[in-house]
Chain A
Amino acid sequence: MASVIGVPANSSGGGGSNVLRVGRVFRGVVLGAVGLFFIVPVISSARFSFTGSSSGLSFSAYSKLLSDPQFWSTLFLSVKIGVGTVALSLAILIPTTVWVHWKAPRIRRVMEALSLLPLVIPSVVITLGVITSFGSLPNIIMGTPVILALEYVVLALPYTYRTLDSAVQALDIKTLVEAGQSLGAPFRKILWWVLLPNLKSGVLGVVVLAFAFCLGEFAVASLLSFTTFAVYLVQIGQTQASEAIAFSLIALLFTWIPLSIVTVVFSRRAGKKSRRGGGGVLMSSQSVIELVELAE
């Protein structure tokens, strides 16, 4: 498929243009089917949330929800946990991945395997382990959202570590760091002035994935008795159907809006840079779009 699309128009004969046309049609059909698969449930849910119990258009589910103080407090809690998780993830992962690529490339496979462990071990088991092992920790950690953020850092590792690892791999870290050192720069300046600007797409991926993970995570939060955004959604869903659907749509918007803003901003920056010359930077915008799709 890719090779067919990649054939230059002027070099393809009649057969080539037919193949191109078939390729375009096939792509359109697949994209259309996938689009319908996603959009139909959303439209149906939206329709249901605006109908409510009476006939005709009703905003009652939304007004009730938006005037509910617990809705805002749970949202605020999830955002707080999300910000903490993102900050912790970046603080731990950036130096770690850079160090692994620079000084210990041999342990890359081990790190990859470790980062995948949260997918292999059920989150319930991890949570019970946390409760058993760290139950005696002071209340500033165990009884507060801090423990949830710490656990989310680990649970999001399969997404965050791999995203950053791919971004770091695309750079010749060793040469860049050594070039910086030979010019007299200490490591923190090399990290800030050279590495981070070149890891922008990877860092953005970590932000998006970790934040989306925190907003949607239910099992661990519920087991640790925190009423987060996702937990409150489930609670409402048990008694109030249209409010629960409205809640889901709002949650969807809360994920989509920031992700879309990030995507657009990065696409524009990438576009500007590529207009300045070359398409190399487009790769980063492409990877951001892929990440956003993954997060959604």
Chain B
Amino acid sequence: MMEMESSKTSVDGANVSDAKGVQGVSVRLSKVSRTYGEVRALAQLDLAASPGEFVVMLGPSGCGKTTALRALAGLEQIDSGAVFIGGKDVTRLPASKRSIGMVFQSYSLFPNMTSAANVEFGLKVRGFSAAERRRRAHEMLEMVGLIEQANRYPHQMSGGQQQRVALARALAIKPEVLLLDEPLSALDAKVRANLREQIKQLQREVGITTFFVTHDQEEALSLADRVAVMSDGNLEQFGTPTEVYSSPSTDFVANFVGTVNVFCGTVLDDKVAVVPNVGNFPYVRGIGTPARGSRAEILVRPEAITVRGDLEGEYLVADVTFLGSNVRIRVQKEESTFTVIQGSADIDIVAPGSKVSLDAKGTAILVRSER
């Protein structure tokens, strides 16, 4: 099926005038716990979003991110804790009484209704007049660039179009919070990237507090104002994409978000760790950082090192992958493998099987005790 995800979407101010009436509100999950039999899905989760913030919940399958989102929506009972929307305790409110708009992972449009009727649904429930419903649905569909599909049924639209209608439907009721549960995961890469941009743009225009669940780190880092990295029902780190990527607070975050190289070295002082024959890496001292002079594992992103052709080098090039403007080089030393990403202009200096040296050029994201 051809995806018609071209630049039809126009997010101009006039079209979002109605949705703009939405004021972002603060959202807080306070010590929320949920277990399924022996499995702990959420363990005393604390998470708070500021009004109008775009929070992405990131983590591997089974980490509790969707459970947290559903608890926020009122679709999941919680064992203990509280949920606050706009300062109000909504823990005991059913989903239908919370002011939320939600877009689901699976296509959730009502199959018996056209796009317009789907968008009108929430307004019909709220007793809006037919004329007002039509007007609002028209505006919302225009906002997501699907006004021409207003009379189409879900089965007549592509996946990307269906999710855009679902987004329009969720926003039509002017919710206080927008929840998106992996809305892009069923779409192909191109449509996904396009829709990701549209969602971000719409969120900025409307200013609604948004929670977005994904297991895709690239998606998380590109969309979020703040990323909540979760593992085993716990919040591992909650920070800006830069903080999460460059200063992971736990091993899990360091390994889950992005690629990481683990070097053995020494803690030189409170600010610098050294890897023999590679160089010095500045770092930020944390709770688990070993004492000065101790042996340590130094975690470094692929961009923080460079490869230099060296016939006497300790590292052997295993493979080279051309990525367009960059080149990814995997090198080996004994049993360990390291990844380096550098400009593709340097591609000539390395060939699989050649000997190279590594040089430090950036910071270490984490310095920890040896294992």
Contact = CB atoms under 8 A, between A and B. Distances in A.
A180 B152 CA distance: 20
B213 interface: no
Contact of B95 (A175, A182, A193, A194): A182
B108 interface: yes
Contact of B112 (A180, A181, A184, A197): A197
B326 interface: no
Given A178-B104, A277-B153, A194 B110 contact: yes
A27 interface: no
A182 B100 contact: yes
B73 interface: yes
A41 interface: no
Contacts of B152: 277
Contacts of A176: 108, 110
A175 B104 CA distance: 8
A183 B121 contact: yes
A172 interface: yes
A184 B75 contact: no
A235 to B, nearest CB: 47
A276 B110 CA distance: 17
B35 to A, nearest CB: 18
A276 B104 contact: no
A178 B95 contact: yes
A89 to B, nearest CB: 22
Contacts of B108: 172, 175-176, 178-179
A185 B109 CA distance: 14
Interface string B115-130: 0000001101110000
A278 B156 contact: yes
A193 B126 CA distance: 14
A185 B124 CA distance: 9
A184 B155 contact: no
A123 interface: no
Contacts of A280: 111, 155
A175 B36 CA distance: 20
A187 to B, nearest CB: 8
Nearest to B112: A197
Contacts of A185: 96, 121-122, 125
B173 interface: yes
Interface in A243-278: 273, 276-278
Interface residues of A, number: 23
A83 B152 CA distance: 37
B133 to A, nearest CB: 13
Which of A176, A182, A189 lies at the interface centre, i.e. has the most chain B CB atoms within 10 A of its CB? A182
Contact of A184 (B106, B110, B166, B173): B173
Contact of B173 (A183, A193, A277): A183
A181 B156 contact: no
A184 B153 contact: no
Which of B94, B101, B121, B173 lies at the interface centre, i.e. has the most chain A CB atoms within 10 A of its CB? B121
Given A172-B108, A185-B125, A194-B112, A179 B156 contact: no
Contacts of A278: 153, 155-156
B110 A179 contact: yes
A156 to B, nearest CB: 27
B95 A181 contact: yes
A180 B109 CA distance: 10
B57 interface: no
A186 interface: yes
Given A277-B153, A278-B155, A181 B110 contact: no
Interface in B281-327: none
A197 B112 CA distance: 7
Contacts of B110: 176, 179-180, 193-194, 198
A184 B104 contact: no
A244 B109 CA distance: 54
Contact of A182 (B102, B106, B126, B155): B102
A180 B112 CA distance: 13
Contacts of A189: 125
B315 to A, nearest CB: 50
A182 B125 CA distance: 11
A19 to B, nearest CB: 30
B65 interface: no
Interface of A: 171-172, 175-176, 178-186, 189, 193-194, 197-198, 273, 276-278, 280
* Interface pairs A-B: 7 shortest CB-CB: A183-B122, A182-B102, A179-B108, A197-B112, A181-B95, A277-B156, A280-B155
Given A183-B96, A198-B111, 13 more contacts: A178-B95, A181-B74, A182-B95, A182-B101, A183-B125, A183-B173, A184-B173, A193-B110, A194-B110, A194-B112, A277-B152, A277-B155, A280-B111
13 contacts: A171-B111, A175-B108, A178-B102, A181-B74, A182-B101, A182-B102, A183-B121, A183-B170, A184-B173, A185-B125, A277-B155, A278-B153, A278-B155
